[in-house]
Structure 1
Amino acid sequence: MNVSYAMSTLLGVSGPKSLLAPDDDAFLGSKIDDAYMAYIHPHWTTFRAPAAYQHFLLGLIYALIFVVGMLGNMLVIVTFFTTKSLRTPSNTFVVNLAIFDALMMSKLPLFVLNSAVEGQIFGKIGCDIFGLVGSYSGMGAAITNAAIAFDRYRTIAFPLDGRLGMKAAIGLVVFTWLWATPFSILPLFEVWNRYAPEGYLTTCSFDYMREGKSTQLFVMTIFSWAYVCPLLMIAMFYSRIITHVRNHEKMLKEQAKRMNVKSLSQGDNDKSAEIRIAKVAISIVFLFICAWTPYALVALIGCFGDKHMMTPTFSMFPAIACKTVACVDPWIYAINHPRFRAEIQKKVPWLCIFGQEKKADDSKSVTSGATEVKSETA
């Protein structure tokens, strides 16, 4: 008995009440108002409350993510709206992603406050706001990634007549917000599911712990809507881009053979473009998987699996993963783009993250599908 208690105290995580000290204040939920306890699944209250240093460490991690993520996303947003030459259809999707990610960052100060009080500082209202913002930003960012993949596919595969216009781009941006609306609003008004505390009870998400067929159906629906569908679209469009570039290279080689010349392509330039596409595609799919697979697994385990696996500490890692990716997104999508990087360097020259950009020689660009790859995937 004493060994179990000592180990649980050292790890600061699990252990049912019967195996731990009989001090009720040592368990999760002890600092939550009684009126709010109905929204907390009894599973969480069987675990020992995290030590103060664990709340402090998580709060510190989230504070760092907030600073870096908000800086990157706001640089992208401000640069886009203050630089006319950057306001293109393709960049509209990038700034929309930055807005969703900035929305994700905006709820982190609330988490830091929750960590300070070891609960929900604003109670049910604060939990609902936290869950609503997280739902909109998460699902919105997922489908925006798919929209970016679609835009790049159209631009690269159909460079002459496939580019999206500004009206079409704005229409797709509106669609991304509509896509995120149903499963953000339904839990808010408790029409289907609800927002509830999870893990250390300092974060809130849709309630995947409640028993019943309704919860299982909701989890499977949102799993398909917010994870499977965007991932399939992202993988499909980027695989088509890579296939298009390879077919283009094959066509050039066959044509050069018929014309009895060595090559019609730019050689290293075309190979570089293909490699660049592959790297961007792999990076984007990898980031999406890293961001949302942990949350998807936690929700599925909480709903269908063994709930004993769902310790408070374990359930906090998915939230860190998706917020870290929202912090990294602007550096991958926009700040890595030469034109964005150059404009940001002009606006904030004291920010010594970026080196001096070499101006591209437009006269050397190849007027082909592979050429469009280099400009659109930079």
Structure 2
Amino acid sequence: MVWSNGSASCCSESPGSVSDPGATRDSALSLSPTAHSVVAACLGFISTFGFASNLLTLVLFGRHKALRSPINLLLVNISFSDLLVCALATPLSLAASTRGRWLAGRTACVWYGFANSLFGIVSLISLAVLSYERYCTMMCPTKPDVTNYRKVALGVVLSWVYSLIWTLPPFFGWSRYGPEGPGTTCSVDWAAKTTNNISYIICLFIFCLILPFLVIVYSYGKLLHAIKQVSSLTTSTSRKREQRVLVMVITMVLCYLLCWLPYGIMALLATFGAPGLVTAEASIVPSLLAKTSTVINPVIYIFMNKQFNRSFWSLLKCETSHGGSIQSWSRANKPMRPAGNNLTSMVASVDQRSPAPSTSKSHKKHPMINSAKPPALSLVARYNTSI
């Protein structure tokens, strides 16, 4: 750690106790000038493209009414939190990496650690709420009300309140925020071996990393199971669509693990491992991977969503949101379920796309096509494709 560890809380240290955090950095946790330059280049890329892609998402949402559905509100919440990370936090670590030491002082370091934790947890919880909302929508016995924002708005508020519950305690003595790794970034104090700090880190790991991951795996797993149940009753096109859903789900889960699991493992090793076990390189790489989520999230959840994709090309062609392809596309999909439930709406309205039986004999051969649909089919058949 960069500051003096003589105090149980960084908030209780005298403001002038350490004027230059980098001055007391342990030599074992220092990077070479070349390594600092590489880290700065990575942070510059993450900050630039993360800010641009998430800002574009917000612009598209504000410009096209067709995108303003309840489920898309969760996507916007993810983009908004990622945008704040790129705008308010990442530039501080970028500046520090260019000089090889933290430049902004202790107060800014505490702010950086708090902001990164707050916005990161908001993003993680929003991804979990998004997956659960898609699952609930699919399992709903009746057609969902796509004009009701109350449930999704509650999920958005929950993500921020939940995040604040877990990021404010360091200000009140349960763990603390301070420099991590080579001293160019700040986070929770992973290295302190006190019971106070260890208990906080364990809770943070379980409730802010493992729990959202379990919700995502459960929700998308049940969704895929329902899709697979109808695969034998659908056309080859629908089976290809099922495979595409599977690929997207695997991509979502793997990217979640790629971005956040290394950081969680690094934190646990720093907390429970021997002093010096986590080197400077071992600490900075997981931190960079976690920050790449601000770039990956828009690509997976926004630009792989055909509705956002069409809106994006409409924006490039300078088409108005009231005409052109957006308007005609919206009309063409009626009575499709509008906007944004990208994963659940990937599954076709199977019985709507299947040719209607023309004779009573056909009805006898396929009795389930009539009113006695199998449960799995009735769950999936409400949705038309949006990709």
TM class by shorter-chain length?
A: 0.7 to 0.9
Asked if 1:298 corresponds to 2:262, the answer is no
CA contact (8 A) 2:177 2:187 kept: yes
CA contact (8 A) 2:231 2:242 kept: no
Map residues 129-140 of structure 1 onto 2, 5 A cutoff.
Answer: 129-140=111-122
Counterpart-to-counterpart distance in 1, 2:21 and 2:263: 20
- Map of 1:168 onto structure 2: 151
- Map of 2:214 onto structure 1: 232
Counterpart-to-counterpart distance in 2, 1:306 and 1:121: 29
**Paired residue secondary structure (1:200):** coil
**Paired residue secondary structure (1:307):** coil
**Paired residue secondary structure (2:292):** helix
Deviation at 1:347, TM superposition (A): 1.7
Deviation at 1:307, TM superposition (A): 2.8
CA contact (8 A) 2:349 2:380 kept: no
When residues 55 and 208 of structure 1 are mapped into structure 2, their CA distance, relative to the original with a 3 A threshold, is same
CA contact (8 A) 1:55 1:115 kept: yes
CA contact (8 A) 2:125 2:159 kept: yes
- Map of 2:257 onto structure 1: 289
Deviation at 1:39, TM superposition (A): 8.0
Map residues 78-97 of structure 1 onto 2, 5 A cutoff.
Answer: 78-97=59-78
**Paired residue secondary structure (1:238):** helix
For residues 315-366 of structure 1, the C-alpha deviation after alignment (integer angstroms, 9 at most, x for no partner) is: 001111111122111011111111111111222349xxxxx99969749953
Counterpart-to-counterpart distance in 1, 2:201 and 2:103: 27
AA aligned opposite 1:185: L
Deviation at 1:247, TM superposition (A): 2.5
Q: TM-score when scaled to structure 1?
A: 0.78
Asked if 1:270 corresponds to 2:238, the answer is yes
What RMSD in Å do the two structures reach over aligned CA positions? 2.8
- Map of 2:185 onto structure 1: 203
**Paired residue secondary structure (1:196):** strand
When residues 133 and 159 of structure 1 are mapped into structure 2, their CA distance, relative to the original with a 3 A threshold, is farther
- Map of 2:40 onto structure 1: 59
- Map of 1:180 onto structure 2: 163
Deviation at 1:197, TM superposition (A): 0.5
Map residues 226-265 of structure 1 onto 2, 5 A cutoff.
Answer: 226-249=208-231, 253=233, 265=234
- Map of 2:345 onto structure 1: none
AA aligned opposite 2:281: T
In structure 1, which of residues 207, 222, 231 is the aligned counterpart of residue 204 of structure 2?
222
CA contact (8 A) 1:146 1:230 kept: yes
Map residues 332-371 of structure 1 onto 2, 5 A cutoff.
Answer: 332-349=300-317, 362=333, 366=350, 367=352, 369-370=379-380
Asked if 1:76 corresponds to 2:44, the answer is no
Counterpart-to-counterpart distance in 2, 1:105 and 1:316: 17
**Paired residue secondary structure (1:35):** coil
Runs of 4+ aligned structure 1 residues displaced above 3 Å come to: 37-42, 161-164, 356-376
Counterpart-to-counterpart distance in 2, 1:374 and 1:133: 39
Counterpart-to-counterpart distance in 2, 1:153 and 1:196: 39
CA contact (8 A) 2:209 2:260 kept: yes
Asked if 1:313 corresponds to 2:281, the answer is yes
In structure 1, which of residues 116, 124, 128 is the aligned counterpart of residue 110 of structure 2?
128
AA aligned opposite 1:149: S
When residues 115 and 370 of structure 1 are mapped into structure 2, their CA distance, relative to the original with a 3 A threshold, is same
When residues 317 and 37 of structure 1 are mapped into structure 2, their CA distance, relative to the original with a 3 A threshold, is farther
Query: Percentage identity across aligned positions?
Result: 23
**Paired residue secondary structure (1:197):** strand
CA contact (8 A) 1:49 1:200 kept: yes
In structure 1, which of residues 109, 124, 132 is the aligned counterpart of residue 91 of structure 2?
109
CA contact (8 A) 2:143 2:382 kept: no
Unpaired runs of at least 5, structure 2? 1-14, 319-324, 335-347, 353-377
Choose 237-246 or 341-350, whichever is displaced more. 341-350
When residues 65 and 38 of structure 1 are mapped into structure 2, their CA distance, relative to the original with a 3 A threshold, is closer
Unpaired runs of at least 5, structure 1? 1-32, 254-264, 351-355
CA contact (8 A) 2:127 2:216 kept: yes
AA aligned opposite 2:76: V
Length, aligned pairs only: 324
AA aligned opposite 1:93: L
When residues 362 and 191 of structure 1 are mapped into structure 2, their CA distance, relative to the original with a 3 A threshold, is same
- Map of 2:375 onto structure 1: none
**Paired residue secondary structure (1:205):** strand
Counterpart-to-counterpart distance in 2, 1:347 and 1:372: 30
CA contact (8 A) 1:114 1:121 kept: yes
AA aligned opposite 1:109: P
CA contact (8 A) 1:97 1:145 kept: yes
CA contact (8 A) 1:69 1:327 kept: yes
Q: TM-score when scaled to structure 2?
A: 0.77
CA contact (8 A) 1:154 1:163 kept: no
CA contact (8 A) 1:41 1:209 kept: no
AA aligned opposite 2:294: A
